[in-house]
Every structure is written in structure tokens, then in C-alpha cells.
A and B are shown apart, each in its own frame.
Chain A
């Protein structure tokens, strides 16, 4: 068998054949755009669903739009080195604003569009933002609310003028108005734009992305053109992405994943990005577009599977039987068929082909994944069963590993070398090594230049040999695949000295469609206890089928029938944990179903929906004490923030249950 290195070399050669020659010389994003606009002006660059129809823009139209906007920004006083905040859903106009800022030597700073005003204030202040391009009235209102605190913010440019007619503030400008001014300037000084673009150097900062702030305040990660382009080239080459490929851009623009896939790779590979109509229509829009490349965090795959499961439970008996039968077939041989393993028997192959015709094909179509060549997931660990499900129905789902600091480009799983519990081989050009304490260290061309105004953090993140500390704990397996267990700092020990990896347990729990979030405690304690958030959709539909009436989340979460349902899930997880000697001591002995949903607005989750374990432990200290104190229930009063910014109190008597544990197989053996 050939070594993975030889295969990677082969891929590299393939890549040289497929990638656009035009894209190779350009070393900044604006230059890349100009090359595409010149070389294949008529090809579709971006689509957006508007008024129920997919509207498209060709590369040359995008070029003209960016040019007009950049000139307009310059006319309003935007200078090299200025920061441009970008807030809104994925809209072509907002992506153009990124290129326009870069064309002028400025630095775009995308923000999470659902952040509340005060969270934005911190970032806008930290980044010294002078100009902001926002989507609509909602975002304008948020910025106006905090304008007083932001002495440096000079201009707000909005894309959708609806509802803004009576806003008279002189610093508010319509996107189209800025473009109009830009065209006038461009007509007077036709050389200006090109000259500004040519001034751009690859080692200048291309974008500033803020870390999600799982620990403390968000930090601005400065990535250069060179770093992002290196990551995008490597990734495009790895999966042979190029013109003709389609992706759906629906993840927050402030997230490094969207920046790499929808922006950097689209400009490097020259493929088409598609912006959905709204956040609520992503499912339908995805079916209509049929992307060839798909990226989603595990929770999206989880939600999709939950929806499929719910809908199948409502299907007729015959359909359910057919579904179950063929999913069994897929579970046995689906992943092997996808990996083109030779040992699958002829009868299994026949059954799988039949299943593909009857179940998997239509299911992939429903999910909008009929044309997907490569689907990736990252951002959090994915449950092995969830991962296996997608691969078994023929979706080439793979894992990658990366972070904001590394342009989301460290490890990738090559086709046909998929392992459920690893994140793949180091990507082309990336060196990975494991520190003595188990931390994963990375050196690559796609690393951050610095943290914005945080030399202390920058110094801390690099070791003396120039390797970046990822903060994740992991190790290489026998085939050279990297395996991540948890955040290095989260891995703790039980009082008995056994390893306690909370993420690992939580992910196992969250694989059950009824469980939306879980928080495990155990570091320095005698046993593991957990908080559970039920999935309102899945448990709600389960309750409806049993004629169990409920009034909202809190009520449903407190029902004893629901507790029994969740208890069964917890006990199954315990059985799985018992099977692995490493984690057998981490079985969940007591649990409580929280009376409210964990929410980023209450700071319990990050904007990327990772649980903030420490914060939750403090906030629900009474409940944690009750779990470990052996109490049967605990009265809880919890403050919540509603979406409109007001706050209230949720009060409930939270029940606590014991779960059965299993003897470790090591001990019984």
C-alpha cells in the first residue's frame, strides 16, 4: 500500500491541473477578484435568493460592484489600515464590502449578527472601527443604541433601506448611495481603484475575526492575505474544488469557517457561493441549489437527523419498516461501500444499491445533499453514530480540525481514509506535533499574524520554536491520524484519579435526539453528574404522540415521563462508557433536566453554541450542590434575557434523578 504522503503528492499534481491559472499569480483577495473578473467575466460568482428567485451576479458584475463600493468608501474618507465592521446575514453585498475594504488596504471585521448591542460595543471599541456596513434596520438600531460609547465610529452604511426612511442621522448612508458616489469618483479618477489594489501586499492583514470567547473576552485574530490564501489553496487542492462547484453560505460571516469556505476558497477556487433567502429557509434553499461542497458544524447535522427521525416516526408503518430495514443495511456496509472497500459481499452490495434507489437517494435529496462531493464538519466533536449515519447513506462527510488562529486549516480527512474518531491527517503544508502535556502544536503558513493589540496573548500562543499552541489535547494514532479528546484545560481528573473528559461524555449524551445540550461535572469530585437540556422539538413531538399535554419548555422538562425517557438515554450512555476502561469511571450517576434552555443571550453558550461549563457551574451552583449533596430536587430561580433585550425570571422545582451505572468491563473481566 502506498503511503499517505505519496497519495498527497498525487493530489497535489491533480490540483495543479485543475486550479485556475489566473488565480495563481494573484496574492491578495482583491487581486484574485480582478483576475476572475478579467478571465471569466461571464461565469456566476454569487447567487442570492430574493423575491423567491435565485438572482445571480457574474464575476465581472461582482468586480464592478466592489469597485464602486470601494471608491465610495474612499470618497467618504476610508483609509489604509482602517477597520470596517460588517454585520448581517450572509448577503452578497456584505461579502463585497469585505473585498472593498481589502482593496483599499483596510481590514474587515465581521461580527455575529445575532449579538446584542453591548457585545458588539466591546468589539467595535477594541477594533477602533470607523466605518460599519450593516444589513438592515435591526443592525442600525443596535449600533445607534451604542453609538454614544463609540467615539471612533463615523459612518454607518446600510444595505436594506426598509424602515430607515425617517432616520435623519447625518452619519447614516445607504449602500447604493455610497456606490453611486463611488462611481462618480471612479469616473473622475479611473486609475484610483487599480492603484489601491496594487498597493496591497500579501503580508498585510486581510481580516480580523474575533474568537468566540469561551474563555474571557473575545480576542481579535489578525489573518494576512497570505495565510488565508495558503489555507484556501491547500483546501481547494485537497478536495479538488474549482469552477463549477457550488456552496451554500449560511453560517455566520464572523466565523472563520464561513470566511475560509465562502470567501477565501470561493475567490481562490473560483466557484459559486449561494446566499439563502433567510435563516429560516436554509433547508429549502439547500435543496434547490444542491451544493457540491458543504460545511456545517455538528449541531446542524444533528438537527437534520433529528428532523428526519421525527418525520419518520410520523410516517406510515410500511415506510417506517422499509426505512429501518435499509438503515440497518446501510449501517452494516454503507460506509465501506463509500470507501470502496473490497470486502463487501455481493448480496450486501445488491441490497445497498436497492436501498440507494428506495431510501438513501431520496433521503439525500430531501437533505439537499444529492450532489455533495465533500461535506465537512468541525467546530465541536461529532458523535460517532451521527457521523456514521451520514456516511452510511452515501454522504461523503468528513472531519477537519482547525481554529480561528489557524484559518480552520490544520487537519483534514482524505477521501477513503475516514476514521470515526480522528480528525484526519495534517493538511498539506502543515506540521503538527504533540507537546509533552498532550497539547496539539501546529506550524503552518496559515497561522495568525497576531492578536489585535494583545502582544501578551500573541506571545503566549506561540512557543519558542514558532509552533502555535492550540489548547486542545490529542494524540496521533498508528496511521498518523490526529485524535482530539478535549480542550487541554477541560480535561480533568475525578477524585479517584481517573481521567475525566467532560466533552466526551456530553457528546455521547447529545447524540440522543431527545437531548439538546448536556453539561457534565466531575473534576475533583467523587462521581460524574450532568445537567440535561431536552430538545423541545423531539421531546415535544414524543409527548404529543403520547397525549402528554405541556405548556412550554419548563413544564415539559419537569414531567416525570420525560425524566424516564432521559434516564434511559443516560443509562445507555453509561453502558457505552463502561465498555471503555479509559472512561468507565466517568459514568453519569446523577442528573437533572434544566428548567430553562441554555442560551447564548444568557452567556451560558458561546455564539457558536459551545457550553461555558465554568459559567454554568457558578450560575447553577445550588443545583450542582444538590446533585452532589444527594437531594431529590432543588428550587431554582434563574434570570433570563429575552430576545428583545428585557429580562425576567424563570422559577421551577428541578427534579434530580439517579441513573444506573454498570461495572467496568475491565473489573468484571
Chain B
């Protein structure tokens, strides 16, 4: 898999973070972190618990406002990306703890991912008439493609709350994909999965990257997965960046080894 990953051609820089710092009261969650993500890349963020990985994703999609630093996305530099801006500009994400509507069916959950792309007025939507009807059919077709892509046909009408954890993760990915993102942020997409589910998820992530050309930033703890999937890896420890490079470079980096395995003080 790593062979195919390196064979892919990467594009220009899509997202650049420069000197990002973020603190909660006295706690420095992120301290002067800089890195970039290129078009069509799979970029992994790794690090021990509490290293600031999820905070970094939250900075990228605008949930947190960094105290210092600049986020440059598609050439536009700003201090804070606002969440709705991020969404309209093609950034979608999944969450570490699944954030789906448990009582709604899989299909409806994925349809919510299309909300931003619906333009018909409220009244038309209520009456399911004219443009609203045409739109709904179009969106449904897109959603069906995603359902087919992620092989979840058999649970299309099942309420999400009744699904196994691994499947819920897949549905969440489906919802993120429904927004047709350019940049997809995945927060521990494989946490709590068994080996088989992990392999499925890996295949889906590679396929998404491949078929839709989506750029992916993912946080993951399973080193095997990270090394197989990603083009480049950022390593965080206590909010600081301690490594950045190809999987092989990162694996040989002494600071990274120390952070993961611990050092004698």
C-alpha cells in the first residue's frame, strides 16, 4: 500500500499552518506549530494522548481560535477560519466520538451532509415541489453513490443508534463525503475497530483519496495504519511539533522514538 501511496503525484499546497499557538487558560495546547498539506495528500497527525492533535483539527476547521499564527487555506490567509466558512470552502470532518443523529436512519444522516448544497426555499422544501423536488432527487443520487461506495446498502434504512460501532464510523465518513469536501479531516477513524474493520476503513480512505481526489488529514494511533496510508506524517508532543516527514523519516527520528517509547531522565 505504501508503494501506491508514494507513487501518487501530490499537488500544490492546499493548507498551510504557520506558528499556530493555542492555550486554554494556563495550559498551552499548541505551541508554535507549522506545517502544510498538499493537494491530494494523505497527511497523518500522530502523537501521544494530550499532544494537541484534536485541537489542531479544531483550529483547521475553525472551532478554536488560535492565540497566535496564521491559517492559509486555498491561498487566503486568516487568523481564524470560521466553522461555516470552513464548511462552505470544502472542509468536512468526522469526530473521535461519533456525532451522528442516533434516531435518524443512515440515509437521513448522510442527507444532512448535503444541507449546504440545498438551495430551494423553505416553502418549496415543505411542499416538495419544483426546484426542491429536483434538488432532492439529485442529492439522493449523490448520496446513493456514496452508500454504494462505502458498501452500506444493507443498513440504508436502519436507525444509526442500532448499528455496531464500526458501521457508525463508516456512516460518519459517508456524511462527511456527502458534502463533497476538498479537505477531509478524520479524527481517529479507526479507534475501537477490530482488525477486519480497520482494513476495510483503510481501503475506503485510500479509495476516497483516489476516486474523489480528496485531500485527507487524519489523526490515528495505529502506527501500522499510519505508515501504510500516509504520504507525510506530523508528530506532536505536548503541543509542539517534534517531527515532520515521510513515514520512514518519522520512524527513524530520535525525538519521535523518545516521545513514544519514553526516555530515561
**A and B are partners in one complex rather than unrelated chains:** yes
A residues neighboring B (CB under 8 Å): 50-53, 162-163, 165-166, 277-278, 280-281, 284, 642-644
Q: Do the beta carbons of B154 and A281 come within 8 Å of each other?
A: yes
11 interchain pairs (CB within 8 A)? A51-B144, A52-B156, A163-B203, A163-B206, A165-B210, A166-B7, A278-B151, A278-B153, A280-B154, A643-B196, A644-B196
Instruction: Select one of B7, B147, B195, B211 contacting A52, CB under 8 A.
Output: B147
Smallest beta-carbon distance B85→chain A, Å: 32
16 A-B pairs besides A166-B7, A277-B153 with CB distance below 8 A are A51-B141, A51-B144, A51-B145, A51-B148, A52-B140, A52-B153, A163-B203, A277-B154, A278-B153, A278-B154, A281-B153, A281-B154, A284-B157, A643-B196, A644-B196, A644-B199
**Which residue from chain B places its CB closest to the CB of A282 in the assembled complex?**
B154
Residues of A within 8 A of B156 (CB): 52
CA distance A56 to B153 in the complex (A): 19
**Which residue from chain A places its CB closest to the CB of B148 in the assembled complex?**
A51
CB within 8 Å of A: which B64-95 residues? none
Is B228 positioned at the interface, with any CB of A under 8 Å from its CB?
no
Is B207 positioned at the interface, with any CB of A under 8 Å from its CB?
yes
Q: Do the beta carbons of A162 and B211 come within 8 Å of each other?
A: yes
With A51-B144, A644-B196, A644-B199 known as contacts, the answer to whether A163 contacts B154 (CB < 8 A) is no
**Which residue from chain A places its CB closest to the CB of B210 in the assembled complex?**
A165
Is B97 positioned at the interface, with any CB of A under 8 Å from its CB?
no
CA distance A278 to B148 in the complex (A): 10
Smallest beta-carbon distance B13→chain A, Å: 24
**Which residue from chain B places its CB closest to the CB of A281 in the assembled complex?**
B154
CA distance A626 to B91 in the complex (A): 63
Is B260 positioned at the interface, with any CB of A under 8 Å from its CB?
no
**Which residue from chain A places its CB closest to the CB of B145 in the assembled complex?**
A51
Q: Do the beta carbons of B207 and A162 come within 8 Å of each other?
A: yes
Smallest beta-carbon distance B7→chain A, Å: 7
Total residue contacts A-B, CB cutoff 8 A: 41
Is B149 positioned at the interface, with any CB of A under 8 Å from its CB?
yes
Smallest beta-carbon distance B89→chain A, Å: 27
Smallest beta-carbon distance B158→chain A, Å: 10
* Interface residue SS majority, chain A: loop
Smallest beta-carbon distance A632→chain B, Å: 34
With A166-B7, A644-B196 known as contacts, the answer to whether A52 contacts B207 (CB < 8 A) is no
Smallest beta-carbon distance A645→chain B, Å: 11
Q: Do the beta carbons of B144 and A52 come within 8 Å of each other?
A: yes
CA distance A280 to B93 in the complex (A): 28
CA distance A623 to B144 in the complex (A): 50
**Which residue from chain B places its CB closest to the CB of A279 in the assembled complex?**
B154
What size tier do the contact residues of chain B reach?
A: 20 to 34
CA distance A44 to B180 in the complex (A): 35
Residues of B within 8 A of A53 (CB): 144
CA distance A643 to B196 in the complex (A): 8
Q: Do the beta carbons of B210 and A163 come within 8 Å of each other?
A: yes
Q: Do the beta carbons of A163 and B153 come within 8 Å of each other?
A: no
Residues of B within 8 A of A52 (CB): 140, 144, 147, 153, 156
Smallest beta-carbon distance A529→chain B, Å: 35
Residues of A within 8 A of B145 (CB): 51
* Interface residue SS majority, chain B: helix
Contact with A along B125-148 (1 / 0, CB 8 A): 000000000000000110011011
Output the residue of B141, B144, B153, B210 with the most chain A CB within 10 A: B153
Smallest beta-carbon distance B183→chain A, Å: 21
CA distance A185 to B102 in the complex (A): 54
**Which residue from chain A places its CB closest to the CB of B4 in the assembled complex?**
A166
Smallest beta-carbon distance A240→chain B, Å: 34
Smallest beta-carbon distance A49→chain B, Å: 8
Residues of A within 8 A of B196 (CB): 642-644
Residues of A within 8 A of B144 (CB): 51-53
CA distance A642 to B145 in the complex (A): 30
CA distance A277 to B157 in the complex (A): 14
Residues of A within 8 A of B153 (CB): 52, 277-278, 280-281
With A51-B141, A52-B147 known as contacts, the answer to whether A166 contacts B210 (CB < 8 A) is yes
Residues of A within 8 A of B195 (CB): 644
CA distance A278 to B7 in the complex (A): 33
CA distance A617 to B157 in the complex (A): 44
Residues of A within 8 A of B199 (CB): 644
Residues of A within 8 A of B7 (CB): 166
Q: Which 3 A-B pairs have the closest CB atoms?
A: A280-B154, A51-B144, A281-B154
Residues of B within 8 A of A50 (CB): 148
Q: Do the beta carbons of B141 and A162 come within 8 Å of each other?
A: no
CB within 8 Å of A: which B186-211 residues? 195-196, 199, 203, 206-207, 210-211
**Which residue from chain A places its CB closest to the CB of B147 in the assembled complex?**
A52
Residues of B within 8 A of A281 (CB): 153-154
CA distance A460 to B15 in the complex (A): 72
CA distance A284 to B105 in the complex (A): 15
Output the residue of A52, A278, A643 with the most chain B CB within 10 A: A52
Smallest beta-carbon distance B136→chain A, Å: 13
CA distance A162 to B148 in the complex (A): 11
Residues of A within 8 A of B207 (CB): 162-163
Residues of B within 8 A of A51 (CB): 141, 144-145, 147-148
**Which residue from chain B places its CB closest to the CB of A167 in the assembled complex?**
B4
Residues of A within 8 A of B203 (CB): 163
Smallest beta-carbon distance A281→chain B, Å: 5
CA distance A280 to B4 in the complex (A): 31
Residues of A within 8 A of B211 (CB): 162-163, 165
Smallest beta-carbon distance A14→chain B, Å: 40
Smallest beta-carbon distance B51→chain A, Å: 31
Residues of A within 8 A of B4 (CB): 166
CA distance A53 to B137 in the complex (A): 12
Residues of B within 8 A of A278 (CB): 151, 153-154
Smallest beta-carbon distance B145→chain A, Å: 7
CA distance A184 to B153 in the complex (A): 36
Residues of A within 8 A of B140 (CB): 52
CA distance A513 to B93 in the complex (A): 44
Residues of A within 8 A of B151 (CB): 278
**Which residue from chain A places its CB closest to the CB of B207 in the assembled complex?**
A163
Contact with A along B253-264 (1 / 0, CB 8 A): 000000000000
Residues of B within 8 A of A280 (CB): 153-154
**Which residue from chain B places its CB closest to the CB of A276 in the assembled complex?**
B153
**Which residue from chain A places its CB closest to the CB of B206 in the assembled complex?**
A163
CA distance A162 to B204 in the complex (A): 11
Smallest beta-carbon distance A289→chain B, Å: 15
Q: Do the beta carbons of B147 and A162 come within 8 Å of each other?
A: no
Smallest beta-carbon distance B91→chain A, Å: 25
CA distance A13 to B203 in the complex (A): 57
CA distance A50 to B153 in the complex (A): 9
CA distance A165 to B8 in the complex (A): 12
Residues of B within 8 A of A163 (CB): 203, 206-207, 210-211
**Which residue from chain A places its CB closest to the CB of B157 in the assembled complex?**
A284
Smallest beta-carbon distance B74→chain A, Å: 26
Residues of B within 8 A of A162 (CB): 149, 207, 211
CA distance A52 to B155 in the complex (A): 12
Smallest beta-carbon distance B6→chain A, Å: 12
CA distance A52 to B4 in the complex (A): 32
CA distance A278 to B210 in the complex (A): 23
Smallest beta-carbon distance B185→chain A, Å: 23
**Which residue from chain A places its CB closest to the CB of B107 in the assembled complex?**
A52
Smallest beta-carbon distance A250→chain B, Å: 13
Smallest beta-carbon distance B114→chain A, Å: 15
Contact with A along B147-176 (1 / 0, CB 8 A): 111010110110000000000000000000
Smallest beta-carbon distance B166→chain A, Å: 14
CA distance A219 to B157 in the complex (A): 43
Smallest beta-carbon distance B227→chain A, Å: 18
Residues of B within 8 A of A644 (CB): 195-196, 199
Residues of B within 8 A of A277 (CB): 153-154
**Which residue from chain B places its CB closest to the CB of A138 in the assembled complex?**
B203
Smallest beta-carbon distance A136→chain B, Å: 10
Smallest beta-carbon distance B142→chain A, Å: 10
